[in-house]
Amino acid sequence: MVSRHLVKRVFFVLGLCFVVALSVGYFYSKGGGELPVYTTAIERMVIGEEIYRREDTKAFTYPPFAAIPFIPFLGLPKDFHPALWYVINICSFIYVFRRLNSLLLEWLPGEQNKRGRMLFWVLLIVLVGRYLSSVFETKANDIIILILMFESARMAALERDNLLGLWTGLGAAFKATPWLFLPVLIWQKKFFAALILFTVALAAHLLPDILFPRALGGSWTLSWYYTFLNSISLDKPVDVAGAWTSWNHLNQSLTATLYRLSTPIDPVKGIGISTHLWSLEGRQLLLLNIVAQLLVIFLVILANKPISNVTGLKRFGQVGAVLCGMLLLSPMSSKSHFAILIVPISFCILELIRDRRKVIIGTQLGIIFFVSTLTTKDIIGRQLGNEILALGSVTWITLITLIATTYALHRNQDIIATRCK
């Protein structure tokens, strides 16, 4: 007689094969995506050619260290690149989910919480599945950022601050936005972790210069700065040929969304979608952006305020708040970048499951579901989906997530303070 355990294993394997088959089809149906941007960058870097070129159709806009992980692609036929990147993506997702599940078993332990753990996974996939799938769609390096930022949150939860500094330092070498962790760690008086972050990021920025010097001389990092970063301003999104355009509905950063809401669409650069709600320009738009970004910074600081009786889950949530700040303050945040919302949204879901009375958090998660999940192009159509995206739907749910995370962190602290009186 066949055991029930064996039947479960067979169905699990068949289901896994089905999911893998679907993901392979989805992965290859989207073409080359962003992968050639990184493989071309490392091919140029190893022979000293300039990797920062505005004239490229899709320019490499990341720090020089971001090209280093793509060394294994050198020498491989280009037809094999998507297959290798697919395997890396699948293995990375499995790693993240297994590590997250181990934390979940600690925060919702025992057989009595089995339904709670199942509910967690259902809600998580519903709320962030859109952004996780876009990592496959774009074939960008967001899977690497996801692992680095998730590990930062996990190390924070485990109180391994030195490794928190290491992972955030590597993140800062990949993108500029993880540098936000530096003032946060200093604010939390984790000075040694902040020092590790700075040292690791600096060393990683210098590594490409040591391994593959520029034929023109000088630093790769300085070339990156003068080609792209010095074009960034607060009054409008950066507009650089080959990289970013100021009016871009795919850019869900706070500055980009406020710009689209404040500026009539340029029919030459636009896509036929008008989101012009009010007219602001120059100093007025600059002031609006400064106020909005100061609000985000305030929420991040408030969420990461040193608190008593801090738990691993709270430390996990504090990192999630920083990740929300990174996405909102970045000059360019496209949909796949928001895969790192898995951290703060996981925190909010867990807070809701552990205490169903948290109506505000439940309401905020409901808003995220309606504004984000139900407005995907597969459900409401491409045109309407683009219009809602142009209005900044992902921007606003990230801000809502930041508010929910900050609220959950400080609501718990207020309860503890009340009980101690």
pLDDT tens per residue across span 264-292: 776 545 456 667 767 777 788 889 889 99
pLDDT per residue as tens digits for the range 378-420: 777 777 777 888 888 899 999 999 999 999 998 755 444 443 3
From residue 394, how far is each of 12, 110, 253 by CA, in Å? 34, 35, 9
Residue 340 is classified by DSSP as G
Q: Rounded to the nearest 5°, which phi and psi values hold at 154?
A: -65, -40
Distances (CA, A) of 301 to 176, 181, 187, 194, 420: 19, 11, 8, 16, 25
Tell me what pLDDT residue 7 has: 55
Is pLDDT at 350 greater than 50 in this prediction?
yes
Q: What are phi and psi of 240, to 5 degrees?
A: -130, 125
Q: Which amino acid is at 280?
A: L
Question: 232 pLDDT exceeds 80?
Answer: no
Predicted local distance difference test score (pLDDT) of residue 416: 40
Half-sphere exposure of 145 (CA within 13 A, CB side): 28
The mean pLDDT of the chain is 84
Query: How far, in Å, CA of 212 to CA of 220, rounded?
Result: 9
Torsion on CA atoms 263, 269, 274, 279, rounded to nearest 10: 10
pLDDT band at 51, cuts 50/70/90?
very high
Residue of 21 and 179 predicted with greater confidence: 179
Distance in angstroms (rounded) separating the CA atoms of residues 57 and 78: 18
Q: What is the CA radius of gyration of the chain?
A: 22
| CA distance from start to end of the chain | 63
Structure confidence at residue 65 (pLDDT): 95
Q: Please write the tens of the pLDDT for every residue from 57-75.
A: 888 889 999 999 999 999 8
Express as a percent the part of the chain with pLDDT over 70: 82
82, pLDDT greater than 90: no
CA–CA separation, 201 and 221 (whole Å): 12
Quick one: DSSP state of residue 240? B
CA distances from 381 to 362, 378, 396 (A): 27, 6, 20
- Specify burial of residue 235 (Cβ count, 10 A radius: 0-12, 13-18, 19+): middle
Closest by Cα among 299, 315, 304 to 347: 315
Distances (CA, A) of 168 to 153, 191, 197, 358, 401: 9, 14, 6, 31, 21
DSSP string of 46-82, one letter each residue = HTT-----TTSSS---S-GGGGGGGGGGTTS-GGGHH
- pLDDT, residue 109, reads 87
